[in-house]
Amino acid sequence: MYKKPFIAGNWKMHKTVSETIETLEELKSLVKGVSDRTIMVAPPFTSLSDAGKLLKDSNIFLGAQNMYFEDKGAYTGEISADMLLEVGCKFVILGHSERRHIFGESDEIINKKVKKALQKGLTPILCVGEKLEERENGMVEEVIEKQLEMGLKSLTKEDVLNIIVAYEPVWAIGTGKTASPEDANSVHKFIKDSLKNIFSVEEDKSIILYGGSVKPGNIVGLMEKHFIDGVLVGGASLSPVDFSKIIKF
């Protein structure tokens, strides 16, 4: 079990290798000595090897933004778990809304990826979240319950104890809109209750992150809520100064 708060940065399709090195060198100095929380960054695939060398023996963990569920083969453009492990990744983000809605990834595909990550010893960060029309139609819990059930299908309690869930309301990602801390907390409670009901995972044993326009200005309000264990930060994680403020909230 990793420490809470858990602060993760998803850089998406940003930063070349040289920009990654520059950013991480500055971030390392800004958060040096922070030991009471877990810090993770997920740069693009092209930067992972250099990032892994730079972050070795630091207090910042390396994660990847995606992976495929086969070990090797004729899968042009894909990356395997072994490739991620060799460059130093400990985490992999799976089922991000952009993978679901732009690239058409299904719950079944995401479930295969989660199983492969666990089999290889990577910690999956499974993303779930509703679209705006689903929220407006009162379908938040229905949508998230299905994503959890399908994404975690055929897993054991021990498996689920090694998974982090990130709640990312699709309408709040990159839009500047943020779910209110109260709304986010309510959904986090639902996720924790679901994990307890389905897998008998106790509330304090699960790690549920909030993602969706997290910034230095709203981190405190989010982290004050009982069921929010950390955050998955997008745009603000690209700035070492802003991300360090979020980390050291």
Find residue 41's DSSP bridge partners.
Answer: 9, 62
CA distance 84 to 178: 31
Active-site residue flag, 149: no
Q: Of the residues 98, 105, 130, 168, which is catalytic?
A: 168
Contacts of 183 (CB under 8 A, 6+ apart): none
CA distance 178 to 246: 15
**Neighbouring C-alpha atoms within 13 Å toward the C-beta of 121:** 7
CA distance 37 to 2: 8
Distances (CA, A) of 177 to 68, 132, 214: 31, 11, 9
Active-site residue flag, 101: no
Q: Of the residues 78, 96, 182, 188, which is catalytic?
A: 96
CA distance 83 to 80: 5
CA distance 173 to 224: 21
* Residues identified as active-site: 96, 168
